[in-house]
A and B are shown apart, each in its own frame.
Chain A
Amino acid sequence: MQRFLNRILSYRASFTLIVFILLLIFFEIFSAEHSFFKPANLTAMARLAPDLGIVSLGVGTLMIAGEFDLSVSSTIPLCSFVFTKLLGWGFPLIAILFITIFTGALIGFSNGIMVVKTKLPSFIITLGTMLFWRGLVYAASRMMPIGIRSWLDFGTWLEKLFVGAIGGELPIQILWFIFFAIVLGAFVHFHRFGNWIFVTGDNETAARAMGINTGMVKTVCYVMVGVLCSFMGMMQNLRIESFAANQGVGFELKAIASSVVGGTALTGGIGSVLGIFLGTLTIQIIENGLILMGAPPFGISAFIGAAIVIFAILNVSIARKSGR
C-alpha cells in the first residue's frame, strides 16, 4: 500500500489533483449561497473552461519540449478574424474550417522556424510575433467587433460542431477539451514522438546526439499550438457570435499558469498532459470561484499572477524533495 501511494504521489499530476479537489471543496463552502456546484454554474464553466484548456494543452506540450509561445494571444483573434472574413465572403463552411485551421498552422510554423533557425530565446521571438500579429489584427479590424449572424444561419453543422449542446444540456466544448486531452495525452506519453518531445526538452544535446531532429520536433509542437489556437478562436467566435479584437487577451499568461500549476517544468523535459488538463481546470475554478465569492475582476488577475509564482516554486521544491 505504501509503495502504491509512493508511486501515485510521484506523478506530478497527483499534486495538482489534490489542489484541484481542495479548491472544489473550498469554493463550494465559501461561495455565495453555495452556488458553485449548481448546474447553471457548472454548465457555464463547461462552456468556458475549454477555451483556455485547449490552448493550454498545446502551450504546455510545447513547454515540455523546452520552448514558450507567447503569441497565442494574437493567433487566436487573428484566426477568428480570418474565420469571420471568410464567412462574410460566402465561402463554403467546410472550406472555411480548413482554411482557418491552416492559418493557425502557418502562424505556428513561422514561430517554430524562427525559434529553431535563429536560436534566440523563444519567449523573445514569440513576444515579437505576438506584437506583430496583434498590430495586424487591430489595424485590419480597426478594433471593431464583427458580428457573424448576418452570414451564418442558426443551426448549421459548423455551429453544432463547435458550440452545440449534447442532450440540450452538456456543452460540446467540454467534450472537445477532453477529446484533445486524451488524444494529446496518448501521443505525448505513449508515442515515440512524445518521447522525442520529452528528451528534446530535457537534454537537447543528448537528443541530437541520438539522431533526433530536435528542430523538427519543436516546429511540430509550434504548429500544433497554432492549430489548437485556430480551433479555439473559431469556437469562441461561434459562441459569442462575433469576432472581437480582444479575444485571447491574457491567454498566453494563463496558459503558462495552467501548465505550471499542472506540474510542467519551466526548463522543459517534465510535465504531463493530465497535469495540464487539471491545471487549466484549477485556474478556471479559481477564476470562477472568486467571481462567485464576489471578488472584483481586477483582483483575479492578481491571483493568477500569484498562482504562477507559487506553483512554480512548489514544482521546483517538490522536484528537489523527491529527487525527480
Chain B
Amino acid sequence: MSALIRMRSLNVFVIFIVLFLVFSIFSPGHRFFSRENMKIFLSAGAEFNIVAIVVGMLMIAGEFDLSVGSILVFSSWNFYVFYNAGVHILLALFLTLCVGGIVGFINGIITVKAQIPSFITTLGTMLLWRGVTLFWSGGLQAGMELEKNPVMFKAIAGVIGDLIPAQFLWFLGIALIIALVMHYHKFGNWIFTTGDNKMAARAMGINTDRIKVICFTVVGICVAFVSVMQMFRASTFSARTGDGWELKAIAASVVGGTALTGGVGSMMGVFWGALVISIIENGLIFLRINYWWIFTVFGVIIVSTAIISKYIEQRRVMLGAERN
C-alpha cells in the first residue's frame, strides 16, 4: 500500500485504464473504442491536454490561471484576424504566439508586482479577454480556409499513418519537454521550491517573481498554440471556445496529484490526469448521459480528488517519500 502511495502517478494511470475499459465496455456498440472516436479523443483531447500540462506546471509554482479559456478564444481571434489580413501563415502563427505570451506575461506581472492572489488576477483577465474578443468579433462564428496551406495543415492537424493525429504528437512532445525541465533541470527545481516555500526559495537567491512570470508566459504561449491547432482542426473561429477549460485544467492537475498549495506534483501525474478528464468528458457523451450531469460530475471529481490528494500527501510525508 505504501508503495502505491509513493507512486502517485501510478494511481492516476490505473484510474485512466479503468475508465477506458468501463467506457469501452458500456458504450452502446462499444463505439467508444472505435477508430473514429479514438482519433477524436487523441486529436481534440490533445488540445486540452497541452493546456492542462502547462496549467499544472503553474500550479506547482504555486499559482492559478483561470483565464486560459479566454486566452484561447482571444488567441483564436488574433490568428483569425492576422490570417484574414493576408499575413503569411507562419507569421500569423508567430504573432499569435507572441500575443499569447504577452497576455500570459501580463497575468504574471500583475500577480507578482501587485501581490494579488493569482486566482483573482486571472479571474479579472478571464473576463477581460473574453469580453474583448466578443466585442471585436461580435460573437460571430466564421469559417477559415486553412486547407490552402497543406504543409502547415499536415504538420499541425494531419494524421500519421492513419492512426495517430499530429496533435497528439505535439502533446507528447510538449509534455516531454516540460517534464524533463521540471524533473531534471534546475529551473524545474526552482519551480518546485518556489511553490513549496517561497520564502525559503528567495532566501536561497531564487528569483521567485521571475519564475512565476515565466510560467505564466509559457502558459500564454502554449494556449495560443493550442488555439491555432484547434482552428486547423475545426476550420472555424468560434467565439465560444475555451469555455470552462480553466476548471477542467485545474481538475486535471488535482486528479494528477498536484497540491493546491503548490510545490507538489508531477508531470506524469498531470499527464494522466488530463487524459482522465478528457476521457470522462468524451465517455459520458458516449454513455448517453445528459450533458448537464457533466457539471455535477466535474464538481464531485474536483472536490473529492482534492481531498484524497491531500490525504495521500500527508501519508506520503509520514512515510518519508519525496515530493515526486
* A touches B (Cβ under 8 A): yes
Q: Which of B44-52, B186-194, B298-306 participates in binding chain A?
A: B298-306
Q: Which of B6-14, B114-122, B270-278 participates in binding chain A?
A: B114-122
- List B contacts of A303 (CB < 8 A): 131
Interface of A is mostly: helix
Q: Which of B95-103, B170-178, B219-227, B288-296 participates in binding chain A?
A: B288-296
CB of A132 within 8 A of CB of B124, answer: no
Minimum Cβ distance to chain B for residue A235 (Å): 25
CB of A316 within 8 A of CB of B126, answer: no
Tell me whether B135 is interfacial, beta carbon within 8 Å. Answer: yes
Taking a contact as CB atoms closer than 8 A, the residue among B119, B132, B138, B260 that contacts A302 in the complex is B132
- List B contacts of A306 (CB < 8 A): 124, 127-128
The number of chain A residues with a CB under 8 A from chain B is 44
Minimum Cβ distance to chain A for residue B74 (Å): 11
- Closest residue on chain B to residue A298 by CB atoms: B134
CB of B292 within 8 A of CB of A135, answer: yes
**Interface size grouping (class) on chain B:** 35 or more
Tell me whether B125 is interfacial, beta carbon within 8 Å. Answer: yes
Minimum Cβ distance to chain A for residue B121 (Å): 6
- Closest residue on chain A to residue B131 by CB atoms: A302
CB of B114 within 8 A of CB of A316, answer: yes
Tell me whether B323 is interfacial, beta carbon within 8 Å. Answer: no
- Closest residue on chain A to residue B126 by CB atoms: A305
- List B contacts of A308 (CB < 8 A): 120, 123-124, 127
- Closest residue on chain A to residue B294 by CB atoms: A135
CB of B123 within 8 A of CB of A305, answer: yes
- List A contacts of B127 (CB < 8 A): 253, 301-302, 304-306, 308
Tell me whether A299 is interfacial, beta carbon within 8 Å. Answer: yes
CB of A131 within 8 A of CB of B307, answer: no
A134-B295, A135-B293, A139-B293 in contact; A316/B124 too (CB < 8 A)? no
CB of A124 within 8 A of CB of B306, answer: yes
CB of B306 within 8 A of CB of A305, answer: no
A131-B299, A305-B127 in contact; A313/B110 too (CB < 8 A)? yes
Interface of B is mostly: helix
- List A contacts of B119 (CB < 8 A): 123
Minimum Cβ distance to chain B for residue A322 (Å): 16
Interface residues in B48-93 (C-beta closer than 8 Å to A): none
Minimum Cβ distance to chain A for residue B166 (Å): 32
A306-B124, A308-B120, A316-B116 in contact; A138/B303 too (CB < 8 A)? no
- Closest residue on chain A to residue B133 by CB atoms: A298
- List B contacts of A307 (CB < 8 A): 124
Tell me whether B212 is interfacial, beta carbon within 8 Å. Answer: no
Per-position 1/0 for A42-86, Cβ under 8 A of B: 000000000000000000000000000000000000000000000
Tell me whether B250 is interfacial, beta carbon within 8 Å. Answer: yes
Tell me whether A120 is interfacial, beta carbon within 8 Å. Answer: yes
Tell me whether A178 is interfacial, beta carbon within 8 Å. Answer: no
Taking a contact as CB atoms closer than 8 A, the residue among A121, A132, A298 that contacts B131 in the complex is A298
CB of B292 within 8 A of CB of A128, answer: no
Taking a contact as CB atoms closer than 8 A, the residue among A138, A298, A316 that contacts B292 in the complex is A138
Taking a contact as CB atoms closer than 8 A, the residue among B110, B120, B260, B307 that contacts A260 in the complex is B120
Interface residues in A115-149 (C-beta closer than 8 Å to B): 118-121, 123-125, 127-136, 138-139, 142-143
Tell me whether A273 is interfacial, beta carbon within 8 Å. Answer: no
Taking a contact as CB atoms closer than 8 A, the residue among B110, B114, B123, B125 that contacts A256 in the complex is B123
Taking a contact as CB atoms closer than 8 A, the residue among B114, B131, B250, B293 that contacts A313 in the complex is B114
- List A contacts of B290 (CB < 8 A): 139
Residues in B lying within 8 Å of A, measured CB to CB: 110, 114-117, 119-121, 123-132, 134-135, 138-139, 247, 250, 254, 260-261, 290, 292-303, 306-307, 310
Residues in A lying within 8 Å of B, measured CB to CB: 114, 118-121, 123-125, 127-136, 138-139, 142-143, 253, 256, 260, 266-267, 296, 298-309, 312-313, 316-317
